[in-house]
Amino acid sequence: MNKRTPFIAGNWKMYKTSSEAAETAGQLTSLVADTTDVDIMIAPAFTALDAVSKVIKASRVSLGAQNLYWENEGAYTGEVSASMLVSVGCHYVIIGHSERRQYFGETDASVNHKIRAAIKANLIPVVCVGETEEERDSGRTFSILDKQVKEGLNNYFAKDLESLVIAYEPVWAIGTGKTATRDQAQEAHQYIRSVIEDLFGDTLCQSIRILYGGSVKPENIAELMQMPDIDGALVGGASLSAESFSKIVQFRK
């Protein structure tokens, strides 16, 4: 039986000014006030973290960032460190999102460094992996996932990764309206869990939460959540409205 607490996370990407983000966050906190059996996170842009943090402080919604840099401080123009994220109330940080890999040169090696910085600062890393359409069509889905997980988590021990969350986000399903079927998602999640078992053993393999991401909506969340290895969702577009995101959070209703 799956004892992992479901986790629904919203990635607001480069949307919403600080005041817009605070407004949506405020609406969300009231809509999900009665939901006690699901962990909830929203990740606004850096510029909105402080404002959103104040709004969600006394609520069940936690704060996440969309990226970080692995040094603690220094001459790294444009970057933000783990301790800076903690200082504005972040508990989570998304690492290695496919848009960062695709447009900003993120690699499995940089993902690896960023995970270390996050863990050291007590931030929960939400590490994204997933294949492109071309990789899937050429039968390389599992080998890509294998490489991303092994290189991203290279040189870690199970005890370092107790809080780690993995998000399986097939690149062809992000923002496209094409959701992986629940069987395709389950197959990938099961594979990722088996890689974790090989690398770190049974305890971490059983406890680690693996989220699905890619065109998750109120209409498809319930069936995805029925699958044994799907523990939650990382939601982009449908997290921008408090109403639709709260419906995803309340997938059991």
Q: Which residue ranges make up the site for ligand PGA (CB under 6 A)?
A: 11, 169, 174-175, 213-216, 234-238
The smaller minimum CB distance to ligand PGA, of residues 121 and 233, is found at: 233
169 carries an active-site annotation? yes
Q: How far is the CB of 237 from ligand PGA (least distance, A)?
A: 3
Sign of CA dihedral 117, 119, 125, 128: positive
Question: For residues 42 and 61, is the Cβ–Cβ distance under 8 A?
Answer: yes
Q: How far is the CB of 108 from ligand PGA (least distance, A)?
A: 18
Q: Token match 């006690």: residue?
A: 36
Q: How far is the CB of 245 from ligand PGA (least distance, A)?
A: 10
In the bound state, the residue with its beta carbon closest to ligand PGA is 236
What's the CA gap between 45 and 15, in Å, rounded? 7
The smaller minimum CB distance to ligand PGA, of residues 96 and 214, is found at: 214
106 carries an active-site annotation? no
The 10 Å Cβ neighbour count of residue 150 is 13
The smaller minimum CB distance to ligand PGA, of residues 200 and 214, is found at: 214
Q: What does each C-alpha distance from 116 to 4, 14, 142, 176 come to in angstroms?
A: 23, 25, 25, 32
Q: How far is the CB of 49 from ligand PGA (least distance, A)?
A: 18
The smaller minimum CB distance to ligand PGA, of residues 81 and 215, is found at: 215
Take residue 195 and report the two structure tokens written for it. Answer: 């890689």
Q: Token match 């990382």: residue?
A: 234
Say which of 97, 99, 135, 189 is annotated catalytic: 97
Kindly provide the b/e burial profile for residues 4-31, where b requires at least 16 CB atoms within 10 angstroms of the residue's own CB: eebbbbbbbbebbebeebbbbbeebbeb
Q: How far is the CB of 10 from ligand PGA (least distance, A)?
A: 9
The smaller minimum CB distance to ligand PGA, of residues 64 and 236, is found at: 236
Say which of 99, 106, 169, 189 is annotated catalytic: 169
Active-site residue numbers? 97, 169
